[in-house]
Amino acid sequence: MDIKIIVALVSLAGIALGALTSGLGYFYKVRAERLKTTKETLYYLLEFRAHFKASSFSPEDLSAEYLSICNDFFKKKQIPKEALPQGLTQILDQMFSSLIETMAPNISVDFLTAYEKSLKSLANDNPVLAYRLRGKEAYAGIFALMNDYCQQLKTIKEFNNEDIPPDFVESQIVKMNDWGFTEQLEQTDKDISLVAKRCDFATRWEVRKILANKKKPVYSLRDFDIEDKLELLLENLMELHTEDQAKAL
């Protein structure tokens, strides 16, 4: 074979190999970028799920436990309710509100903005999936309706209507809360599964383990050192009382 033909064939083979290598490099680069965007969206959905589960406790149950802890504390100190300083109830209410906020922090505006940004990036590669994920905003209406229903039940309960047993009203509130939790968690898990399918096997496996846990978290206020906070509050009140007495002399 003519040496010129051999050189030409080698050159063509080199060009083809170079094009193939470049093409594969571009393919894996694009795939890596897509995977990065998909995993970013997956992260925000998992964060939302964790926040939702953390916020699914019953404030009424925690309120009853909080009052029990406070009553036990003042009994140990042998302080009758009549002797408690004025305004203490308001301070205790503020403490309880702070505890609730600590247990269920609000999702920040920055978080929602970043999630929206990740969806826009995802839409460039998979617009249908991005649209489906945005569609879950419609579920906000379900929870608005659920909250209104619970508020109406509580109003009926406050009127102490003899025709409606309090236990029945309480059970309806619990059932509605459980239904809302189950519905939202199920929809969120579907969204997460849709995104996870487009990730690598290791990620899918980890996500599967996370989604397997569908139980509501169980909180106990006795884990939050409330008695220590009450002790400090009582010391401050005693100091103020001593100062007021000194000024009066």
pLDDT tens digits, one per residue of 76-117? 888 777 777 767 777 888 888 777 777 766 677 787 788 888
Q: Which of 100, 95, 111, 110 is nearest to 46 (CA)?
A: 111
Is the pLDDT at 71 greater than 70, yes or no?
yes
Q: Compare 238 and 192 and report the one with higher pLDDT.
A: 192
Percent of the chain past pLDDT 70, that is, above it, reads: 59
**Among positive and negative, which fits the CA dihedral 128, 130, 132, 138?**
negative
Residue 208's pLDDT band (cuts 50, 70, 90): very high
What are the backbone dihedrals phi and psi of residue 84, each rounded to the nearest 5 degrees, phi first?
A: -70, 140
Q: Percent of the chain, pLDDT > 90?
A: 6
What's the average model confidence in pLDDT over 142-157? 53
pLDDT bucket at 31, cuts 50 / 70 / 90: very low
Q: Which residue has the higher pLDDT, 212 or 55?
A: 212
CA 141, CA 156: separation in Å to the nearest integer?
23
| Token pair listed for 234 | 């009582």
- Which residues of the chain form beta strands (DSSP E)? none
User: How far apart are the C-alpha atoms of 196 and 95, rounded to whole Å?
Assistant: 40
pLDDT-derived band at 20, boundaries 50, 70, 90:
very low
> 6 versus 93: which is more confidently predicted?
93
**Is the pLDDT confidence value at 13 over 70?**
no
d(CA 199, CA 210) in angstroms, rounded, equals 15
Chain centroid to CA 100: how far? 13
Residue 84 has, within 13 A of its CA and on its CB side, a CA count of 17
Kindly report the pTM of this predicted structure. 0.62
